[in-house]
Amino acid sequence: MLSQVEIKDWLQTRLSEKRFSHSLGVAQEAERLAKHYGADPQKAYLAGLVHDCAKEVSKDETMVQLSAFDIVPDVAAAAAPWLLHGTLGACVAKQEFGIEDEEILDAIRYHTTGKADMSLLARIIFIADFIEPGRTYPDVAMLREMTYQNLEEAMLFGIDYTIELLVKKKMIIHPDTIHCRNDLMIELTAKGKQGIMHEN
């Protein structure tokens, strides 16, 4: 496996300055969240660092590279190829960086869409992407606070925000995102944190 310094060098030469600094921010935030929630801080830092390693690969090149890894995108992802940078990122992390840890690879793979049954590490990377120190949108301070109080509530907020935006922009919503939201709703309801509305 490449050392952390080697991975940082790789990212710095292939990502824009802004994306590289976002990657460092997600790594730092994920490490902090892992310490807070009892996940492995080193794994969280590494997953955060590499999560966007394939983000600046063009759409056509993404398709070419994925097919070289024998991956056929599902219908929704093929129609919304920006969602595939997690899928390709996990392949790159394994092939280029020698990361074999399936939990880390899964966290990278699903950091954009989310999915059902996410591990704690995957949840941490998903939300760290929203709240890393470089993020500046209006609700970020509130979401940061929420994240350290209740990870699942914060994820649901992030997902709802994303879904609303996708609907407004008439963009594809990946089914994994819906599965992730349903999972969170069911979990939160079981903990008495959220009331799922039932049709009478």
Interacting residue ranges for Fe ion, rule: CB under 5 A: 52, 129
**Complete DSSP assignment for 20-53:** HHHHHHHHHHHHHHHHHHTS-HHHHHHHHHHTTT
Question: Structure tokens of 161?
Answer: 């925000």
The tally of CA atoms less than 13 A away on the side-chain side of residue 21 is 6
Integer Cα distance of 26 and 46 in angstroms: 10
Q: Between 106 and 129, whose beta carbon lies closer to Fe ion?
A: 129
**Residue 86 Cβ vs Fe ion, minimum distance, rounded to whole Å:** 6
* CA-based torsion, 127, 181, 106, 89: positive or negative: negative
**Residue 200 Cβ vs Fe ion, minimum distance, rounded to whole Å:** 40
Question: Structure tokens of 75?
Answer: 């219908």
Q: Between 88 and 188, whose beta carbon lies closer to Fe ion?
A: 88
- φ/ψ region of 71 (left if φ > 0, alpha if ψ in -120 to 50, else beta) reads beta
Q: Between 129 and 176, whose beta carbon lies closer to Fe ion?
A: 129
Neighbours of 42 (CB within 10 A): 12
Q: Between 84 and 185, whose beta carbon lies closer to Fe ion?
A: 84
Q: Between 29 and 40, whose beta carbon lies closer to Fe ion?
A: 29
Spacing of C-alpha 154 from chain mean position = 14
**Residue 6 Cβ vs Fe ion, minimum distance, rounded to whole Å:** 21
Q: Between 23 and 185, whose beta carbon lies closer to Fe ion?
A: 23
37 burial type by CB count under 10 A (0-12 exposed, 13-18 middle, 19+ buried): middle
**Residue 191 Cβ vs Fe ion, minimum distance, rounded to whole Å:** 28
**Residue 92 Cβ vs Fe ion, minimum distance, rounded to whole Å:** 13
**Residue 19 Cβ vs Fe ion, minimum distance, rounded to whole Å:** 8
